[in-house]
Structure 1
Amino acid sequence: MDCRSASATAGEGRFRVNANGKLLDVWLLVRCVTCDRTSKLTVHERVPVRSLDPTELHKYHLNDPDLVASKLLDPFFARHRRFSLDWTGAWRLDTPSAQLDQEWPVQVEVVFEDPVPVRPDRLIAQGLGLSRPEVLRRVKCDIPLRRPMSTGFTFTVLAGE
């Protein structure tokens, strides 16, 4: 980022494609949450037009929202461009309070409307009002609770002791 803050960015949902003869540059425009400046993240630099998939090139020109999202959510792309996304307030676990008063164990299904990388232990702790150590003790799940994920999952909450 231009401000060198290494802070989170917000996607503007736009690509910029620049042609120089038969070579193309493609950038993803993002806004720094800290300084509010727009920066360009290089997607392709000085690549021959024929080397790009025509469908993908068309999506760059259309500012395809799914392509923007896939680039922003790609950890390899983020790591090599030295940016991170601000996920503050991007997710929550909706739980009816009556459900927690039912007989134990309680099974909960998590469904993401959009791919948001979140650690399941943090999501469950916040949603159920439990501490993270208590989540690790009381929750049984087929996925690692401490590894960020962006797909749905199911977990079981055991009775407290």
Structure 2
Amino acid sequence: MLPWVVRRTRLPLLSLRCVDCDAESATTGEGRFRVNANGKLLDVWLLVRCVSCDRTRKLTVHDRVPVRSLAPAELDGYHGNAPELVASRLFNPLLARRNHFTLDWTDAWQLDIPSAWAEESWPVQAEVVFKDPVPVRPEPLIAQGLGFSRNEVLRRVKSDIPLRRTTSAGFTFLVMPRD
């Protein structure tokens, strides 16, 4: 079984309307948090900026939570702007729903495949593994990896999941020889 790996190359853009310029894209840039203490309560925001006008906006991560409810490592991550914490919060669907944004994964991921896949005996079986929750449709992903047209993928590929449905979970597929 050949391993195919889908990995993130950068953080995705956010589809989020800017109040100043009406643009639809924002970015986390370097990934910064703002932490504000009010007595024993904390507010934590993820700072994003508009791609067009550079206006900064805050996305609510925690709102008036008791300091003791956060793990010390998590709190240190917020103060230190830990990149893995930025990514995990950005990928959280509850944060996206609360702050009314979606992720735009265009040009934010790559597919790594073994170079010797064509030397395998037919049929060829491959396993796709996702290092990050990148939502992709299997049909164009397989077409890109094999250099096939999408129609040829539909004819020659048998998969354990529907090829025309978006997924961010691993799957396996079998490529049949030409008829």
CA–CA separation in structure 1 for the residues paired with 2:96 and 2:151: 30
Q: Which amino acid aligns with 1:82?
A: H
TM-score of the aligned structures, taking structure 1 as reference length:
0.78
CA–CA separation in structure 2 for the residues paired with 1:91 and 1:85: 12
Matched with 1:147 is 166
Is 1:159 equivalent to 2:177 in the alignment?
yes
Is 1:19 equivalent to 2:37 in the alignment?
yes
Moved more, 151-160 or 23-32: 151-160
| 5+ residue gaps, structure 2 | 1-15
Relative contact order, higher structure (CA 8 A, sep 6+): 2
Q: Any conservation in 1 of the 2:28–2:47 contact (CA below 8 Å)? A: no
Deviation, structure 1 residue 98: 5.6
Q: Any conservation in 2 of the 1:29–1:38 contact (CA below 8 Å)? A: yes
Q: Any conservation in 1 of the 2:135–2:166 contact (CA below 8 Å)? A: no
| 5+ residue gaps, structure 1 | none
Q: Any conservation in 2 of the 1:95–1:128 contact (CA below 8 Å)? A: no
Offset from partner CA, 1:57-114 (integer Å, 9 cap, x none): 2221122222111111122322331223332222233446763365421122334444
Instruction: Determine which structure has the larger strand proportion and give its number.
Output: 2
Which of 118, 122, 127 is matched with 2:145 structurally?
A: 127
Moved more, 36-45 or 82-91: 82-91
Q: Any conservation in 2 of the 1:9–1:86 contact (CA below 8 Å)? A: no
Percent identity among equivalent residues? 69
Aligned residues: 160
CA–CA separation in structure 2 for the residues paired with 1:59 and 1:135: 44
Q: 1:98 to 1:59 in 2, by over 3 A?
A: closer
Instruction: Determine which structure has the larger helix proportion and give its number.
Output: 1
Q: Any conservation in 1 of the 2:31–2:81 contact (CA below 8 Å)? A: yes
Aligned partner of residue 30 in structure 1, secondary structure: strand
Q: Any conservation in 2 of the 1:12–1:29 contact (CA below 8 Å)? A: no
Is 1:61 equivalent to 2:79 in the alignment?
yes
TM-score of the aligned structures, taking structure 2 as reference length:
0.71
Q: Any conservation in 2 of the 1:10–1:85 contact (CA below 8 Å)? A: no
Matched with 1:29 is 47
Is 1:82 equivalent to 2:94 in the alignment?
no
